[in-house]
Each structure stands twice: as structure tokens, then as C-alpha cells.
Amino acid sequence: MAELLVQKLQSFPRSIRVPGDKSISHRSAMFAALAQGVSRVDGFLPSEDCLSTLYAMRAMGAEVREISRSQEQGMSVEIGGCGLRLRPPAGVLDCGNSGTTIRLLSGIIAGQGFEAQMIGDASLSKRPMKRIADPLRLMGASVEGQGEKICPPITVRGGQLHPIRYELPMASAQVKSAILLAGLFAPGVTTVVEPVATRNHTERIMSHFGIEWWREGPEISVRGLEGRPFAARDLVVPGDISSAAFWMVLAAANPGRELLLENVGLNETRNGIIAVLKRMGAEIITQVQSADGEPRGDVLVRGGALRGTRIGGAEIPNVIDELPVIAVAAALAQGTTRIENAQELRVKETDRIAVVADSLRAMGATVREFEDGMEIDGGGPLHGAEIATHHDHRIAMAFSIAGLMASGQTRILGSDCIATSYPGFEGHLASFCAAP
Ligand code: S3P
């Protein structure tokens, strides 16, 4: 098991360029594989999660040609699509640690004329797939998995789908996207009703590929394509704000420091971390540019004396992946921070409420845990500790940031999980540990 040793912060680089957005990279591979013709994707995130998606699309007939790969620019890849009709995979599809891969692929396979089995690692094998099985079965597909929660391995058999109008029982972009993808293969209009707005990358990439969809209040609808494929189109993936969030918190918690994060995705359904850190006392300046329908730009963070805040309600889906590192910011802020309505955190790569609360306590913070969130009394000194990551990349990275702000040494146990979303993280971390 790999481990990462983190010491107190020594220096501050001027700027960081984080790798490509995970959510957008997954969708770029899936839509390019369904398109007619060859799409070039630049800035694709070559992390384990996104490669799981790319390899799955290749196993189902997409032609994948890697053009280049670098730390600075990510991966450039050409994807020759199948024009909606994929080919049955020769073996099982390994989704690794990736919930987005298994859930969105299920929506696509539901619309194909074959059966495929999807497996995952120990963490993914505990995650509930019932949330996609229920609507996909209503549409006419067969979805079988393990136990009541329908955990992986799961087998999806495509069929003649029919459109549905489905009220999501939870705020989940993965479930919304699985239904919209299946809706492309159903005749007529498929509608998803969201309890709270979630990330809209699937909708934006559908616009990019010229697929008709519309939104009326909380309802998002697509019209089935009746077997008519959409054309290939190139796209450029911006940097991942969820990866930038680690450095944003670090800069925010250091008064007098300034850090520039370059080429960060600034989609309005993902940029809640900026509002939260501003509320806590940081100064943040963004310069938004738009391309491919996904806003992006540079983000300058100036540290301040952070104070506690309240995070809940409609803001939660917008910061869902950032909550572990926001909890670290809360431990570094004066006063109390309350996070509520975040029960979805319990079914992520690990139970992020329990693991964040335990890990913060191990470093000296006072945390009260609730079913749907936690309250953190911040401002006390943090000390180094051993952190068990439970194979959760965001726990590993959030507590690396805590380690930079703590006395002594922090040991991140099982740090290899970082590769699921942020290749190059350890190099960026090292730039804060080097002697000035
Ligand atoms: C994602 C949606 C979110 C998020 C995950 C990526 C996506 O999950 O936590 O990291 O790309 O659609 P849920 O849909 O389970 O909330």
C-alpha cells in the first residue's frame, strides 16, 4: 500500500495548472464514441477513472488513438465513434473505482441490443446501483446486481426502450445522465425532474454535439434520436475545479499568500467552492472565458483570516465533491462551520461524513457528526496523524492539505487512490514542501 508523508508547508508556488475535468472527460469519451466520425479531445484527464471509461468505449467498438500525453496538457485523443450502435464487449467491463463510468455506461448499454457485465474495485462494489436500475428498468432494460442495493457486479441488458418522466429521489447528476443517455435510444421525450439542480455537463455536451434537449424549471428533457446518429465534434476539456479546490483551500487559509490556478472549469453548477471560500473570508478573482459550451478561466486566490460558515440546501450538489476539503478549511477557520443536507456524501467512494469527521478528530479538531452532515469547531491547532483513505482519492488529497497546515508529520495511507482523479498531485504537493 503506497503512503504519502506530508510535512508542514514550507513554500508557495505562484501558479498551478490542474489536470482536466473528470466529469467532462468521461462524457467526452462516451459522446464521441456514440457519434458518427472522428472527434478529437484535448485536455482529456488521463486518470484511472477516465481511462476506465475510454477503455470501456473501445471495448464496445470505438476506435481510440492516443496522440499525446503530458503533465501540462493532459491527453489528446482521437475517438472514432460507432454512430449510436456499439458492439457487444468480448469480456466484462472493468469500471475500477468510477461511479460515473458504471452509472452512465448503464444508461448507454440500456439502449443497445446486447448484454454487458460491469465490475468495479472493492469501493465501487459497495455502492448502490439501484438508483439507476429503477429508472432503466422502467424504460424497459434489464439491470441485475448484488443484494437489495444492486451493487456491482451488475449486468445490463439493452432492450426496446420507452420514454419515461422520472422524478429523481436524490440529487444526482450520474442518475440524471444515465436516464438522459438512455432517453436518446427511446422514441419520444424522456424527462428527468431534479429535486435540486446538479452539474449540467451532460446537457452542455449534448448541445455541443447538436442533440436537442430543453429545461423547464426542474425538468430536463431529451427527444429520442430514432436511430439517427449525431456528428463527431472536437472538444477541449478545461481543468478540474474539484482538483483546483485543494489548492484554493490551502491558499485561502494562508493570509498574505496568493495563488493563481490556471485554466479551471467554471461551470456555474460546479463553482460553489468559490462562493464558500469568499464567505469564509478569502479574496477570489476569476476571469471567465467560454469555449465548447463549458466556461473556463484563471482563478486567483488571496488568503485571509477564515471564519466559519453554513453550507446546505441547494448549494450542496454544487460543492458535493469539495466538501472533504471544505471541512478541512472549516477546521482552519475561526468559529463553527455547519454542513447539512449532505447525506449523499455517505454513498461516495467511502462514507465521507464518517471518514472526514474521524480524520479531522485524529488531527485535533472538534467535530459533531449528523446523518446529513457535520459541525466543525475550527481555529485550534492541527497536529499530524495517520489518515486511512479507504481508497477514496478526495480523502487522500483533502488530508494532504490538512497535513501541510498541521504540526509534525501526516501519513496518508493508501495514497495510490489519488491516481483515480489527479495524476501529478504529488508533484504539485511537493512544490509546497520544498525548502524556500
Ligand atoms: C458526477 C456526479 C456526482 C459527483 C461525481 C461525478 C458526474 O455524483 O459526486 O464525482 O460526473 O456526474 P452523484 O451523481 O452521485 O451526485
Q: What is the pLDDT along the chain (436 residues), one digit of tens a residue?
A: 899 999 999 999 999 999 999 999 999 999 999 999 999 999 999 999 999 999 999 999 999 999 999 988 899 999 999 999 999 999 999 999 999 999 999 999 999 999 999 999 999 999 999 999 999 999 999 999 999 999 999 999 998 999 999 999 999 999 999 999 999 999 999 999 999 999 999 999 999 999 999 999 999 999 999 999 999 999 999 999 999 999 999 999 999 999 999 999 999 999 999 999 999 999 999 999 887 789 999 999 999 999 999 999 999 999 999 999 999 999 999 999 999 999 999 999 999 999 999 999 999 999 999 999 999 999 999 999 999 999 999 999 999 999 999 999 999 999 999 999 999 999 999 999 977 6
The span from the first CA to the last CA of the chain, in angstroms, equals: 31
- Strands annotated E in 45-123: 63-70, 74-80, 93-94, 115-119
What number does the ligand 1 atom closest to the CA of 171 have? 16
Q: What is the pLDDT of residue 265?
A: 98
CATH code of domain 22-221? 3.65.10.10
Helices (H), 333-385: 352-362
**pTM of the shown model:** 0.98
Q: Which residue has the cell 485536455?
A: 43
Q: What is the pLDDT of residue 434?
A: 79
CATH architecture of the domain with residue range 3-19+239-433: Alpha-beta prism (3.65)
Radius of gyration in angstroms for the set of CA atoms belonging to the chain, rounded to a whole number: 21
Query: Do the domains at 3-19+239-433 and 22-221 have one common CATH topology?
Result: yes
Q: What is the pLDDT of residue 114?
A: 98
Q: What is the pLDDT of residue 290?
A: 80
pLDDT in tens, 368-426: 999 999 999 999 999 999 999 999 999 999 999 999 999 999 999 999 999 999 999 99
Question: How far apart are alpha carbons 72 and 312 in whole angstroms?
Answer: 35
Question: Where are the domains positioned within the chain?
Answer: 3-19+239-433, 22-221
* Beta-carbon count within 10 A of 71 CB: 12
Question: How far apart are alpha carbons 225 and 246 in whole angstroms?
Answer: 40
- 215: which strand partners? 220
Residue 177 in contact with ligand 1 by CB distance below 6 A: yes
Interval between CA 210 and ligand 1 midpoint (Å):
24
Q: Which residues are known to be catalytic? A: 321
Residue nearest to atom 10 of ligand 1 (CA): 321
What number does the ligand 1 atom closest to the CA of 27 have? 11
Residue nearest to atom 9 of ligand 1 (CA): 321
Residue nearest to atom 4 of ligand 1 (CA): 321
Residue 322 in contact with ligand 1 by CB distance below 6 A: no
* Beta-carbon count within 10 A of 165 CB: 12
What number does the ligand 1 atom closest to the CA of 347 have? 15
Question: How far apart are alpha carbons 347 and 339 in whole angstroms?
Answer: 16
* Cis omega (within 30 of 0) for bond into 195: no
Question: How far apart are alpha carbons 41 and 75 in whole angstroms?
Answer: 8
Q: What is the pLDDT of residue 389?
A: 97
Question: How far apart are alpha carbons 2 and 432 in whole angstroms?
Answer: 20
Cβ-contact 317, 198 below 8 angstroms: yes
Interval between CA 177 and ligand 1 midpoint (Å):
10
What number does the ligand 1 atom closest to the CA of 320 have? 9
Residue 173 in contact with ligand 1 by CB distance below 6 A: yes
Mutate to test the pocket of ligand 1, among 97, 320, 322, 346 (most ligand atoms within 8 A of CB): 320
Residue 174 in contact with ligand 1 by CB distance below 6 A: yes
